[in-house]
Chains A and B, each alone.
Chain A
Amino acid sequence: MKKLIKLISLVAIISAFGTNILAQNMNEDFRKTAPAPLAPVPFNIPKPFETTLPNGLKVVIFEDKRLPLVSYRLAFPTGDINDPKDNIGLTSAVTAMLNEGTKTRSSKQFSDEVERLGANVSASSTSDNTIIAASALSLYGSDVLKLMTDMVLNPTFPESELKLYKQNTIEGLKFQRSQPGFLADEQTARILYGSNPYSVTSPTATDIEKLTPEKLSAFHKKMFVPGNATLIVVGNVNRDNLLKEVKESFGNWQKGTVAAMKFSAPPVRQATTLTIVDRPGSAQSNIVLANIAIDRASPDYFPVLVMNQVLGAGASARLFMNLREEKGYTYGAYSSFDTRRQAGSFEATAEVRTTVTGDSLKEFFYELNRIRDEKVPEQELKDAKNFLTGVFPLRAETQEGLTNLITSQQLYNLPADYLQTYRDKISAVTPDEVARVAKKYITPDKTAIVIVGDAEEVLPQVKTYAKQIEIFNTEGAKQDIANYGKAKSGEAVNVGGKWDLTIEAQGQKLPVSLELMQDGNKVTGSLNSMLGKGEITSAKVSGNKLSGTASSEMQGQKVELTINGTVEGDTMKGTINTGIPGFPPLPFEGKRAAGTVSNNETTKPSTTAKNIAGNWKVETFAGGQAVTVNVKFEQSGDKLSGTLSSDVGDGSVSEGKISGDNVDATLLLSFQGQPLTVILKGKLESDTKMSGTLTPEGLGLGDLSFTGTKEK
């Protein structure tokens, strides 16, 4: 063996570059720096063939002979935003149900036929688009095209399959509420888009309940028409043969078009707002900073792409380098532009440890301001452009990738040479353009901050970032901000006694009882349910929040249950988490059994009403603007009345009442010449401060949080 090795190295010396071997070894300076790239290789994507059938169906064919494969997309430029207002979720239901039964195939027959071909067929909708996708060996191209035609033209939406879809979807809707990412998206969209349909991220269970086969059929008939569709075929096909097949398949598709819908523009933002979704006990905070930016057709698309590459598009960008590499706050921090057909938004996001939520916001704002205020250094800009031009061919390498590129060019009506000129357009972006779009489309002084996390922990860290702050629970219900931030200063409420709770699990209500004993802020006790008994050894109360764990036996298995509850007098609401992977926390609510409070200090009704008579300055934020209302309360016993004046109109206080710290009143005023009723629900923080919500009726503004200050 040794001999052989010597022989090999001898050969090496003899043959490697002949006589120059010594110099080679010594002079390897070329290794010291990264080599320059070779000459750029042009990437010539030919333009596809396009034609339109007499019924209006546009057909786009791209012959890709590399491998015996074919990919189809039937693409509709209508999506979830085209849902009727009273039945959100209809588009995605129709789309998902297309292959769950046709005039000639049951759901199972359909999927068996697809699997037997080794093919893939799927359908999905986004807010802007609906796409039916299929791919197969080109040998089975015709078979798959027939299956695809069948699901698009002949779906029957069988009752039994729809029932299953509704069950699963409703379970999914519940589950997504346990996902912080969903909660952040839900609030961000609501805040950014106002009355624009992009504000809706998900149907409700009620929407899903409303679905019937008839509704699906009618909507299918209306939207799935050839005048609204483009068929894109990429693959090893013969154009003439394919066109013949397409005409046979789709030629009889009955004519029809869908009128383009126009929606109201997103509201113009005036100031920075802060929205917290409270997830008690959350170890991380999901942070989103967002503002409205560009739509897909914007001429600023390419400068924005390059600018965002510098700021936060990947793991070499500024946000990642700062928040992860330098500060170690998170696994990743990114920014993105969501460019849709009618509008779009900018978002910077990270999931950070709860304790550094405030510090992370500081770094986000630093980076958002830096890219606006300082010119991007030349090398950094070059790197960003290199990345974007470099990654483009990688995206087009597989047939699926290429098909997706062609499909979005078609759906968004991008120029015919879009794919051919993409890399040139990136290269042409100038430093000035980057500076201009950064200033225009990143607006940290009017940003919407959304944080999903433990509000008790997060609020004190971030409350200085915005004047207008609102807090929601994970169910999307607005919370009284006065209840937060007490943990540090506020005294623990008394939770002692017997509680009868109801847990919602898998659509069933399960009774659970808790027996709690309290010593200071320490709580012990037991938990009883039909599934078993558990012992609570180390729970605690901070403010009005109860948190702790109970070791329980469920069906012979030891399970650790985590309980998080919020106590209001004799009622408690919260969640129980089973820790079983895939199971969302189970919501519960319940009441304290009468006469079981060991120390009812916190629930004792006030014997004499506090006096709040006088002039109050009530400040809120409505329609993107700060609004101040001056209220003059008059009080008699616990009854309130009075007058009010504001920039928008004057009026009076009616049906007012004060009980304990709670102030309830109806404000009647004239708003732009129309009578307007506003329900005020406030809570006194001190004799001169209150906060709560104002609900203007009939304006669709929901609850507006307000703060009130008594003038001296």
Chain B
Amino acid sequence: MNNRFIYSAAMVMILLIFGINTFAQKTNNKNMDKMSGNFQLPPLKIEQYTLDNGLRVVLNQDKSVPVVAVAVYYDVGSRNERQGRTGFAHLFEHMMFQGSENVKKAEHFQYISKAGGTMNGTTSTERTNYFEAVPANQLPLTLWLESDRMRSLAVTEENLTNQRNAVQEEKRLNYDNQPYGEVFNTLNEMVYKNFSNSHSTIGSMKDLDDATVEDIKEFFRIYYAPNNAVLSISGAFDEKEVKQLVEKYFGTIKNQPKPEAINVSEPKEVAETYKKYEDKLAPFPAFLMGWKIPARGTDEYNALALAGKLLFEGDSSRLYQKLVKGDESVVQLFGINDERRGPSGIAIGAIPKPGQDLSKIRAAIMNEIKDLSQNGPTAEEMMKVKNQLINDAVRSRQSSMSRAQQIAEFALYDGDPTLINSELDKLLKITPEQIKNAVNTFLNTENRALLDVVPAGQK
């Protein structure tokens, strides 16, 4: 009977469709807040230095479990792509698993897997990352693999064709052939004006088709240079030994001229306020609303991230309680924070139940936003959010892989990996007043993009 209830995700969907409501009762208001003082996490031990070729190295020693995680973050994402060159950053991520001078195609995965490790790579607007977690004594293996592809990636016509096809297949599968698959990309085009920000990470089929081996080689030379990357290592290692190994494997890789600086600045206004999008695969109408907000790390961004938690994260969030539970007008409600180094975004969307008036649902969302902008969060909500922040911060420090990634991100984006030790404190200090004001300035406004998704039906 192990499999009895594994289909819970689908069950949730069914639950939502049937609009089942648990009875609401007043919560007892016993004060359980024990955080009168500031909650202090024990700081992580962090050491950073730069190799002569410009590679930034960050070490976080933690010997509690004999595991080590290695993350390499390259400072290249879709934000670096120009017109006619979209999708390159992601295409390149695929190329990085196609072999290098001493590691044959697809061997990377096999080496890590046989060592009992896990690995992957991802691409976002902001960066491309690669990471492995292995038993501590396999540290040399990961450094060998990562350094070999950093210094000698096999950029060949055959690999390019092969991976271009794979990426195009991925695009067909995950975007073109999925109901609602294109809506987030379309919304981004409406929110952001600057091409660096507005185009999709997966890119256009035409640009991918046009990519030549020369383009890709050039891309590699510029962006995959050691001076454009952060190497972050977290876990059980000997400090002296790890430095020797890093020098041995990465020290002789040639640096390159610094990539051209990019401009991601945005006007305050969204690019487009309304669009109707015909989706051939969508079974129900849906909508998505997007707002432009300040960059990550600013007090305003952080206040809005907390506002997002209150509005749409979890079953006790305001919009879930109002629309899914209370009005039973919505099948699915979702919200995301689009966190970027430059101007960022927040999006809220819903798939209403058939026959529902979409404008009423949007009005209900704007009403909650308005309430938050006038009255701010309640004391109860602030306590919940703070406990969730602490809980998330503590849990995300348990695994070496997650530590290596967070540290690499702070090092790459902010030039300071030790921010991981002060980030929680900064978030906990956000006041209800700051949340109220940020919501009022950035969300409670007509300056937003509204995307109506209309099922186009099959012809």
State the A residues within 8 Å of B (CB).
1-2, 5, 8-9, 11-12, 15-17, 24-25, 28, 30-43, 66-69, 79-81, 92, 106-109, 111-113, 115-119, 124-127, 136-137, 139-140, 143, 160-161, 164, 167-168, 171-172, 175-176, 179, 181-182, 185, 200-203, 314-316, 338, 383, 386-394, 396-399, 506, 551, 555, 557-560, 578-583
Contacts and interface: CB of A to CB of B under 8 A. Distances in A.
Contacts of A581: 13, 179, 283
19 contacts: A34-B111, A38-B137, A38-B241, A81-B1, A107-B23, A112-B316, A116-B384, A116-B387, A118-B384, A118-B390, A119-B387, A139-B34, A140-B32, A140-B34, A172-B7, A203-B4, A394-B133, A557-B284, A557-B455
Nearest to B387: A118
Contacts of A126: 1-2
A119 B391 CA distance: 8
B398 A399 contact: yes
Contacts of A66: 64, 398
B23 A160 contact: yes
Contacts of A25: 252
Nearest to A179: B7
Interface string B386-411: 11111110110111100000000000
B394 A33 contact: no
Contact of A175 (B3, B14, B258): B14
B113 interface: yes
Interface string B226-259: 0100000000100001000001100110010110
B3 A182 contact: yes
B252 A28 contact: yes
B139 interface: yes
Interface of B: 1-5, 7, 10-11, 13-15, 17-18, 20, 22-25, 27-28, 32, 34-35, 39, 41-42, 52-54, 64-67, 101-102, 109-111, 113-118, 133-141, 144, 147-148, 179, 227, 236, 241, 247-248, 251-252, 255, 257-258, 283-284, 314-316, 354-355, 380, 383-384, 386-392, 394-395, 397-400, 455, 457-458
B137 A39 contact: yes
A202 B139 contact: no
Given A41-B236, A387-B114, 6 more contacts: A35-B144, A38-B139, A126-B1, A140-B387, A172-B11, A390-B117
A338 B2 CA distance: 10
A388 B109 CA distance: 16
A202 B4 contact: yes
Contact of B141 (A35, A140, A579): A35
Given A5-B258, A109-B25, A38 B7 contact: no
Nearest to A189: B1
Contacts of A81: 1
A582 B17 contact: yes
Contacts of A115: 314-316, 384
A82 to B, nearest CB: 11
A394 B67 contact: yes
Nearest to B39: A139
Contact of B11 (A168, A202, A393): A168
Nearest to B383: A116
A387 B1 contact: no
A143 B114 CA distance: 43
A113 B391 CA distance: 15
Contacts of A506: 18
A680 B379 CA distance: 73
A143 B32 contact: yes
B255 A8 contact: yes
A24 B141 CA distance: 20
A167 B14 CA distance: 11
B66 A393 contact: yes
B23 A106 contact: yes
Given A37-B140, A398-B399, A555-B355, A168 B20 contact: yes
Nearest to B135: A390
Given A115-B384, A175-B10, A582-B17, A37 B137 contact: yes
Contacts of B386: 118
Contacts of B110: 316
Which residue of A109, A115, A315 has the most chain B CB atoms within 10 A of its CB atom? A115
A137 B394 contact: yes
Nearest to B389: A118
Given A40-B137, A397-B399, A558 B32 contact: no
Nearest to A13: B52
A81 B28 CA distance: 39
A107 B23 CA distance: 8
A32 B103 CA distance: 8
B144 A34 contact: yes
